[in-house]
Structure 1
Amino acid sequence: MYQEITHSFTSKKSLLRTIQNDNIVYYWFSLLFLNKSLRATLSQNKNTALSYKEFIASLYFRFILVFFLALFASAMLFHVFSDIYWAVLLPVIALYLSAQKKGFKAFCNIFEEFINQNFDSDSLQKKTLYQIGEFYGDRYAIHSLVDTLQRNIKTYTYFFGISFVFLVFIYPINTLVTCLGLLTTVLIIRIYFNTFSLLRHLQNNK
């Protein structure tokens, strides 16, 4: 069982730290905030409206940046624009990280206001992450936190395993390339969940 979800939390700050350090938990709460039944509430609430717009804008902006990165990466394979690729790569990565940071800040503002509507400090102390996830999952009729954790972990394991077999046994080059390749695989999966999957969920829940 996913050990982290069995721990109790003493404050919203400790819960936010868990979300910040656990990408899958962040992904689940993002899915929750993008759910059709919550979008109108969050976008119209004076305490969350601006942050919600920034959160959505961050998703679209990161999608555009990833598209350009993929375009230039494809061009590199055919030695097109190779001279300017590296000059473009670092600024785009910097923009992506900046947009991600801004999006997470907006997410935190939404999260704190959202939690305040349902839990006071005393009741939050008695809840585990699992219980909070079950509470919101049942209320808004979405997949539970545990189900999402299990599915995402399976996805990470599956594609990481494929990359490992390819880089180690089928097309080995050297240790550095293998490590970079495995790291890139994890980053691509993370970008997929934090950008493409969330935007798809947003479009499907309009």
Structure 2
Amino acid sequence: MFDSIDATLATLATSPWVLLLVVGLLAAADALVPLAPSESTVIAVAVASAATGRPPLVVVVVVAALGAYGGDWLAYRLGRRFGPAMTARLRRHRRTRTAAELAHRVIHRRGRALIVFGRYLPGGRSATAITAGLVGYPPGRFQRFTALAVTVWAAWAALLGYGSSIFLDGRPTRALVLACAIAPVSAVAIGLARRLVTARAASATTS
């Protein structure tokens, strides 16, 4: 069974359509539909890259990063489009007005950390991008931090798959299972590191 799956992964990875239609589009769609398996797709293609040499790892990273950037920017623009009407509606009631003001403060104060690290939490990527648009987070700043975030994310997922394949010496199916098992653990570690950095920054600010 493993051999047949290995052969299928190798065959699919040689097609440029995998990069364009699967890696890029799923990386973009994940910003609007958090259930899209963008991360596991990048890992799978990177595993095949290590096993077959195709597609080149750097191309996997670039395409995944570009797709993720496009999806984040679209989510942000949707937030900007509906932001004024949504804000006006929320401000009609005290409870929702308080929530809207809190979201505004959090995004504007900690936008960089949320944009860079929020994507490793379930639903965090789409929530951060849309909320940033809703509260009027500066577009230039959003673009800069998002460019950094998607590059780090794409490299992390691709290197995880590539490294697992090398570690298991060309057994892509087992490498895929290993990488997908490690991914959520490392994502939790990244999330905890983000909380620690944010807490220390807040403590330094108030002291």
Q: TM-score range by the shorter chain?
A: 0.3 to 0.5
Higher relative CO (Cα under 8 Å, sequence separation at least 6) belongs to 1
TM-score (normalizing by structure 2): 0.35
TM-score (normalizing by structure 1): 0.35
